[in-house]
Amino acid sequence: MKVSIITASYNCENTIKETIDSIQNQTHKDWELIIVDDGSTDNSINVIEEYCKNDTRIKLYTHNNHQNKGLKKTLQLAISKCNCEWIHFVECDDILTPDSIEKKLDIIKQYPEVSLIFSEVELFGNNEAIKELTPYINERKEVLSKESYPSKVIAKSPILNLVPTFSCVMCKKECLQSCSFKSPIDAYLDWFLWSQMAKYDVYYINEKLTKWRISKNSYANIFKERADKYKIKKYRLKIKQNIKHQPIIVYAVKKFLIILSGILSKIFPKNNKKI
C-alpha cells in the first residue's frame, strides 16, 4: 500500500535533512513525501530541492509568492496534494524510526476498520523542556495503557490530548478532509483535529516509532503560556457546540426560563428559589 507523508516546513534547514533521511530509510518504500514550505526565510527550500532532484517520490510545494500562511493553510495545501488513502505526518524537525510506517500498515491489515493510528514517542532535545513535558507524557500513557485496541479512546478522554505530536500519526485522508481546521488556538490544531475524529476507531502502538524533538522555545514555554487560555476557549467552544446541537424548541424554552428567572429575582429579591 502506498502512503502519503506530509511535512510542513518552516525555517528548518538545520533539521530537515534528518527528517527526510528518516523517511528514505523506511523499510516500507512505497510512499510519496509532500513537503509544503510555509515561507521559510533560511536555506530550507534549497536543501529540500536537492532531495527532490535525487528522489522523485519527494515533492515540494509553496504558497503563492512564498507567503507565510501558518500551519492550518500549510497542512490543508499538503493534504490536497496527497494521492493516497492514508496520510502519515512528520514535522520538519522530527525523526521516524525505520519501521514506523511498516508497523502502522500491519495494523491496517489486521484491523481495516481503524481510521487513525498513533504510536508512542521518544523525546529528545532540550532537557529542561523534556522535564516539563514528562508529567503529561506519563499521564496520557497511563490512560492509553488501560484500553484494548481498536478503541474509541479519544472520545473517552475529552480533556487530555492523548496524541502528543503530529509526527506519530497516520490516518485516513477522507477523515482529515471532513474535519474543520478552525482551531481556536493554532498551537493545538492537532488536538482539535483528533477530537473531531473521536467517533472513529483508533489504534495506539505502545512502541516509540517517532523521535519527537523538543526545544524550549518551540513547545514547553508555549504549552505553559497557552494552557489556561486554551481551556477557556475550549469550554466556550464546547458551550457553543452544545447549544448548536440542542433542538431549537429546547433552546428557546431554556432561554425563556433564564429571562423569566431574572425578572422574578428583581421583583422578588428575597426569593432565591430557582425556576
Give residue-wise pLDDT tens across range 74-92.
Answer: 999 999 999 999 999 999 9
The answer to whether residues 186 and 238 touch, using CB atoms and an 8 Å cutoff, is no
| Residues with Cβ within 8 Å of residue 266, at least 6 apart in sequence | none
pLDDT of residue 220: 43
Q: Which three cell numbers stand for residue 227?
A: 494552557
Percent of the chain with pLDDT over 70: 79
Residues constituting the chain: 275
Question: What are the cell numbers at 174?
Answer: 477522507
Segment among 1-5, 89-93, 135-139, 186-190 with least mean pLDDT = 186-190
Interatomic CA distance for residues 153 and 92, integer angstroms: 28
| 196 burial level (CB within 10 Å; 0-12, 13-18, 19+) | middle
- Phi, psi dihedrals of residue 125, rounded to the nearest 5°: 125, -130
Higher pLDDT, 195 or 256: 195
Q: How confident is the model at residue 188 (pLDDT cuts 50, 70, 90)?
A: confident
**And the C-alpha cell for 79?**
493534504
In angstroms, the CA 75 to CA 262 distance is 47
pLDDT value, residue 183:
87
8 Å CB contact between 10 and 36: no
Question: Residue 22 carries which side chain, given as an amino acid letter?
Answer: S
What is the spatial distance between Cα 246 and Cα 83, in angstroms, rounded to a whole number?
A: 38
Q: CA Rg, the chain, in Å?
A: 22
Q: How far apart are CA 78 and CA 185, in angstroms?
A: 20
More confident residue, 180 or 275: 180
Question: Of 13, 53, 107, 22, which is closest to residue 5 (Cα–Cα)?
Answer: 22
Lowest mean pLDDT among 39-53, 78-92, 190-204, 219-233: 219-233
- How far apart (Å, rounded) are the C-alpha atoms in residues 116 and 28? 18
pTM value is 0.81
CATH top-level class of 3-214: alpha beta
pLDDT of residue 100: 98
Give the closest residue to 190 by CA, choosing from 207, 167, 212: 167
